[in-house]
Structure formats: structure tokens, C-alpha cells
Structure 1
Amino acid sequence: MDIDLKIIEGMTADEEDFILERLMTHNAATFGPTDRRELAVPLHDDDGNLIGGLTGYTGRGWLYVSMLYIPDELRGRGLAARMLDMAEAEAKARGAIGAYIDTMNPAALKLYLKQGYTEIGTLKGLEGGHSVTWLQKRFQLRR
């Protein structure tokens, strides 16, 4: 079989789903079945419109926070910390031992450190002098 590879600008959602499904099947066969469960803390305005929130999932004993967004006009009210606390509490109830997250935002990094996360890696030298930091937080086990 002769494989012809090429670079394209992007894929459709169906094409991405196709690859993701196969990757998840491969990973389950290689590493065992996952207990992945989605998790979200949506943020709505007074009219019920979605304006921000937290999304992520639990799986293989960890919470991954994939997105956390607070609109500018609501920042500084402790909403991000409350959302993290809620997600972490749910993750603990699901049996997770910790959480991980990444950020490019210096203000978010400061918040995550204040919330008890510790840096586990940084990629420096992104365009504009930015960097990406990965963080983790181990949950204390109750006895």
C-alpha cells in the first residue's frame, strides 16, 4: 500500500470524531478501559444564556480541566475558584486522586497556584514571549 500524506488546513468534526474514536479504542485495548466521564460547570447570565464556565472530564483517576472561562465583567468575584472547587469535589466523589490543567494566562496561573496547584512543566518561547504551564493538584485522601 502506497501512502500519500499531505498537509491540509483542518478537518471536519466528523473526521476528527473518526480519529478520536479509533484512538480511544486503541488506548482502551492498550491501557485498559477508561472510566472517562465528562464534567462541566456552566455559567449563565440572568436570561439563561451561556456566557462562560468550566469543562473537563474525569478518567483514569484524574480530573482534567480543559477549559475555564469567566467573562471580563465577572472576573474578580471568585467564580473561577468556586468552579474549580465544584469540579474537584465532583472528581473526588468519582474517586479521582488529583487534577491537572494547563494555561498561557499569567492571571490564571496565579489563581491555580493559589488554589493549591503546582507546576509540573512549562513550554517557553511561544510567539510574543508567551509560555504554557501545566499544573497538577493532588487531592488529600480522607480517612
Structure 2
Amino acid sequence: MIQLSDDPTPEERQAVLDAIVAFNDAATGAKAETQAFSALVKDEEGRTLGGAIGYSRHGWLYIELLHLPEAMRGQGTGTRIMEAAEAEARRRGLLGIHLDTFSFQAPGFYERLGFARMGTLRDHPPGHAIHWYAKRFDAGPPSGEAKHHSGDA
């Protein structure tokens, strides 16, 4: 029986995740250790204004979220956040950093920081694109690196 839902329970999600993790661990011979990561910008009262949140797993740091308020952009704060992420990834002994971004967000920012575009899905959302990026710390290019194409949407 296949049951469709717009709202899977946390237990249902966990059951699927546990099965995937077990399969991946068996296939790779390595247990997937996940360690959380954040590099946050705080105001004087300790409120979070923005920053990066992600996790390391399988030898890579994944930046899941990165946001800065409009007033903080263009001042080097995003670069400093990504430099802190890279320093932490290196401290953890990771191979590199990977992330995704929409064409209307920050692909040029990541390219200026040395990230290579790995792939693009056009019309996600319609009229735009999502891009996957990676930055490897050793001399080689990220595995499966796609040739860069101009035009983001």
C-alpha cells in the first residue's frame, strides 16, 4: 500500500532516514557521522541577525542556509562567514564545502570565493534555476564538475 500525505510525521521521516543511513553506511563501509555547524552574526543584545547553518557528513561541510539582512550585504560579512566556515571545515579535516543557491540569490558570490558549479536545474523555480556548488580543499576539481555555462536562469 502507498499512502500519500502532505504532512509526514517525524516518526515516518525518521524511519525513512534511518533506512537510508543504514544502506549508505553498508555501501560505503563508513558510519555517517553528522556534526552541526553555524557561523552566526549577532547584535549587541545577542539576537541572531543572519549567518550560515549546516553540518558536516561524509567528509564534507554542507552549508544548508546562508542569509544576511540587506543592510549587511556588500560589506564583507558574507565573505567572513564563509572564511570561518572554511576554517572550521579544515579544522574538522574535511575535503571541502558544498551548497546550493538559486540563480536570484548568490551564485556569483560563491564563484568569487572559489566554488565550482557542479550542476544546474533550470526552471526551479520556473524562470530561474538552482545551482549546486563545491569547493575542494585539495588541488583537484570536485568530482563530476560540470563545465561552467553563462546565464543563471
CA distance in 2, matches of 1:109, 1:24: 30
- The 3 A distance-change label for structure 1 pair 33 and 79 is same
Residue type at the aligned position of 1:79: T
Unpaired runs of at least 5, structure 1 = none
Q: How many correspondences in the alignment?
A: 138
Secondary structure, aligned partner of 1:129: coil
More helix by share: 1
CA distance in 2, matches of 1:84, 1:24: 28
Does residue 39 (structure 1) correspond to residue 37 (structure 2)? The answer is yes
Q: Percent identity?
A: 31
Pairing of 1:17-56 with structure 2 (within 5 A): 17-31=14-28, 32-56=30-54
CA distance in 2, matches of 1:105, 1:68: 14
Residue type at the aligned position of 1:46: E
- Give the structure 2 partner of residue 11 of structure 1: 8
- The 3 A distance-change label for structure 1 pair 15 and 46 is farther
CA distance in 2, matches of 1:68, 1:105: 14
Pairing of 1:100-139 with structure 2 (within 5 A): 100-139=98-137
TM-score (structure 1 length as normaliser): 0.84
Unpaired runs of at least 5, structure 2 = 140-153
Superposition RMSD in Å: 1.9
